[in-house]
C-alpha cells in the first residue's frame, strides 16, 4: 500500500537545492528517489541529462489510441536560508497539526506526490487503465528552468503524442476553493542606459549647461504612463484579448476583499486603469513596470555630481494575444522617439516570454477549437473538484509568468491544466514551508478521479 505522507517525508529528506552546487548529493538523492518510486509503480524511467540537472521522463501505457497525459513537476527546491528561522530543520520533515513542514513540502514535492499517489492508487485498482501517462519532472524550476527549452526541442516529437499537460504548481486561494489557472502573463524586459557627459561632472562648475541623464531618464519614464494608470505607448493595447463577462464573474466569485488586499500591500490607495478592479487589472491587463533605477551618488549625505550615466530596468507583463516581439518594438520605438537629442542612450535587451491562455470549454462567448481530450480533462476536473472539495473550481488567469507553460505550448502545441494546491499560508520560498495534509488527501482523490475520467472518456 502506497503511503503518500511517508513517501513525501522521504522525498523532503533529500535536500535538492538546485541553485547551490553544495547540494549535489541532495539533487542526486531526489532523482534516485523519484525514479525508484515511479519504477515501483510500474513506470519505465529515463534520466535525461542536461547541461545542469537531469530531467526525469517516466511513462506507462503503450497503446497510441489511448489518451496521453503528461504530468509536470519539479524535484528541486529553494534554498532553506535563513535556517535559524525554521522551527524544525528544513530537511527533516515534521508533522504538526494537519501540516507537514519542510523545504519543498508545498513547492513542489507535496503537489507532485499528490499526482504520483493518485496514479499509484489508480493503477493498483485498475492495472489495465487505458491511459498513457508521462511524468516529466525537472530539477531547475527554482532557477528559471534554463535547460528546459532545449529539452523540449529535443523531445518534442515524443511529447507531441500527448493530449495535454497536467500539473499542480499554482495557488489554492482557500482550502475549499480550487483555482484552475488558465492564463499567465508574458514578459518583455530591457534596460535603458542614458549617458550625458563622458564622466561625472562637478554640479557647480558645470551645472546649468547640459541635460542631466537622470532628468532625461525621468522624463522618459514619466511619459510611459497616463495619469489614470494606462501604459502610454501607442499600440500597446491593440492586441489585448478582451476580458469576457464569464471571467469577470469568476474573479468576482473569488470574493477577495479590496481593503484586505490594500492592507496586505501596505499602500495608501490602488492605482488601476479605469474600468478594472485591482483583481481584474492584475489578471487581464498588460503592464509596464520599473524594476530598478540607478545613477550618480547613492550613499549617505551628499555628493554634488552631475552623473555621466543613469539607467532604468523596465519590464512589461503581456496578456493573451500580445506578441513580445511586437511590444518590444513598440517600446523601443517610443523610447527612441522620446529621448532628447542632447543625451545618448542604449537599450539593452533582456529576455522575453510569451503570454499563455487556455480557455476552458463551455465558457467563452467566442470559443476556439480545442482538443476534445483537453476539453474532457477540464470537464473531468470540474466534476471531480466539485465532488471532493465541495465547490467547482474557478478558472482564472494569473498575473505571474511561468515561461515553461508558454514554452510547452510553443514547442509541442500542448495546453496545460493547472490545478492549484498550495495555500497562501504554506510559506513558499520562506522558512517553515509546509503543506496541508487535508489538501493533500483531497488532491489525491480528485486527481485520481480526473485521470480515471480522461482514461474512460471513450
Cα dihedral 27, 28, 32, 33 sign: negative
Task: Copy the grid coordinates of residue 115.
Answer: 499526482
Q: How far is the CB of 370 from its own copies (least distance, A)?
A: 26
At residue 149, φ and ψ (nearest 5 deg) are -60, -40
Q: How far is the CB of 455 from its own copies (least distance, A)?
A: 35
CB-CB contact of 178 with 389 (8 Å): yes
Q: How far is the CB of 179 from its own copies (least distance, A)?
A: 13
Nearer to its own copies, 66 or 261 (CB): 261
Q: How far is the CB of 124 from its own copies (least distance, A)?
A: 38
Nearer to its own copies, 113 or 172 (CB): 172
Q: How far is the CB of 326 from its own copies (least distance, A)?
A: 19
Nearer to its own copies, 25 or 265 (CB): 265
> Rounded CA gap, 19 and 192, in Å?
29
Nearer to its own copies, 47 or 267 (CB): 267
Strand partners, 164: 69
> Rounded CA gap, 311 and 195, in Å?
9
Q: How far is the CB of 21 from its own copies (least distance, A)?
A: 19
Q: How far is the CB of 343 from its own copies (least distance, A)?
A: 7
Element (H, E) at 32: helix 24-40
The closest of 16, 104, 119 to 58, measured between CA atoms, is 119
Nearer to its own copies, 37 or 224 (CB): 224
Nearer to its own copies, 367 or 400 (CB): 400
The conformational region for residue 61 under phi > 0 = left, psi -120 to 50 = alpha, else beta, is: left
The 3-state DSSP class for residue 259 equals helix
Strand partners, 416: 165
Q: What is the DSSP string of 135-185?
A: EEEES-GGGT-TTHHHHHHHHHHHHTT-SEEEE--SB-SBTTB-EEEEEE-
Strand partners, 165: 70, 416
Nearer to its own copies, 131 or 251 (CB): 251
Contacts of 349 (CB under 8 A, 6+ apart): 190, 328
> Rounded CA gap, 311 and 440, in Å?
46
Q: How far is the CB of 287 from its own copies (least distance, A)?
A: 4
Nearer to its own copies, 290 or 332 (CB): 290
Amino acid at each position: 500500500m502506497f503511503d503518500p505522507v511517508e513517501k513525501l517525508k522521504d522525498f523532503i529528506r533529500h535536500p535538492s537545492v538546485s541553485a547551490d552546487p553544495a547540494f549535489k548529493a541532495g539533487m542526486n538523492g531526489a532523482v534516485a528517489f523519484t525514479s525508484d518510486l515511479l519504477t515501483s509503480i510500474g513506470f519505465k524511467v529515463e534520466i535525461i541529462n542536461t547541461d545542469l540537472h537531469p530531467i526525469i521522463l517516466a511513462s506507462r501505457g503503450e497503446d497510441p489510441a489511448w489518451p496521453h497525459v503528461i504530468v509536470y513537476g519539479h524535484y528541486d527546491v529553494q534554498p532553506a536560508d535563513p535556517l535559524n528561522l525554521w522551527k524544525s530543520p528544513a530537511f527533516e520533515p515534521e508533522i504538526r497539526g494537519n501540516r507537514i513542514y519542510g523545504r519543498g513540502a508545498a513547492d513542489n514535492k507535496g503537489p507532485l506526490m499528490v499526482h504520483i499517489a493518485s496514479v499509484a492508487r489508480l493503477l493498483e485498482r485498475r492495472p489495465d487503465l487505458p491511459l498513457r501517462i508521462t511524468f516529466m519532472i525537472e530539477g531547475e524550476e527554482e532557477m528559471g528552468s534554463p535547460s528546459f527549452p532545449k529539452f523540449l526541442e529535443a523531445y518534442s516529437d515524443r511529447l507531441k503524442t500527448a493530449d495535454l499537460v497536467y500539473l499542480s504548481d499554482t495557488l489554492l486561494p482557500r482550502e475549499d476553493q480550487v483555482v484552475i489557472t488558465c492564463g499567465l502573463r508574458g514578459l518583455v524586459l530591457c534596460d535603458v542606459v542614458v549617458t550625458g557627459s563622458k564622466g561625472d561632472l562637478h554640479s557647480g562648475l558645470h551645472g546649468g549647461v547640459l541635460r542631466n541623464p537622470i532628468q532625461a531618464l525621468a522624463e522618459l519614464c514619466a511619459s510611459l504612463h497616463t495619469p489614470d494608470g494606462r501604459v502610454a505607448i501607442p499600440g500597446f493595447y491593440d492586441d489585448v484579448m478582451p476580458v469576457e463577462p464569464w471571467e469577470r464573474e469568476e474573479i468576482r466569485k473569488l470574493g477577495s476583499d479590496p481593503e484586505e488586499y490594500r492592507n496586505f500591500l501596505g499602500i495608501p490607495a490602488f492605482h488601476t486603469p479605469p474600468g478594472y478592479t485591482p483583481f481584474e487589472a492584475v489578471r487581464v491587463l498588460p503592464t509596464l513596470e520599473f524594476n530598478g533605477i540607478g545613477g550618480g551618488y547613492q550613499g549617505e549625505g551628499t555628493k554634488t555630481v552631475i552623473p555621466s550615466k543613469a539607467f532604468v530596468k523596465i519590464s512589461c507583463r503581456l496578456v493573451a494575444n500580445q506578441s513580445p516581439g511586437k511590444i518590444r518594438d513598440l517600446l523601443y520605438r517610443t523610447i527612441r522617439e522620446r529621448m532628447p537629442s542632447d543625451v545618448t542612450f542604449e537599450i539593452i535587451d533582456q529576455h522575453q516570454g510569451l503570454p499563455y491562455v487556455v480557455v476552458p470549454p463551455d465558457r467563452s462567448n467566442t470559443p476556439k477549437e480545442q482538443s476534445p481530450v483537453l476539453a474532457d480533462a477540464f470537464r473531468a476536473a470540474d466534476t471531480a473538484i466539485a465532488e471532493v472539495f465541495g465547490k467547482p473550481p474557478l478558472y482564472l488567469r494569473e498575473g505571474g509568468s511561468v515561461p515553461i507553460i508558454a514554452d510547452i505550448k510553443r514547442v509541442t502545441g500542448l495546453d496545460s491544466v493547472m490545478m492549484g494546491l498550495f495555500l497562501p499560508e504554506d510559506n513558499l520560498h520562506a522558512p517553515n514551508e509546509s503543506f496541508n495534509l487535508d489538501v493533500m488527501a483531497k488532491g489525491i482523490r480528485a486527481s485520481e478521479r480526473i485521470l480515471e475520467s480522461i482514461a474512460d472518456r471513450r
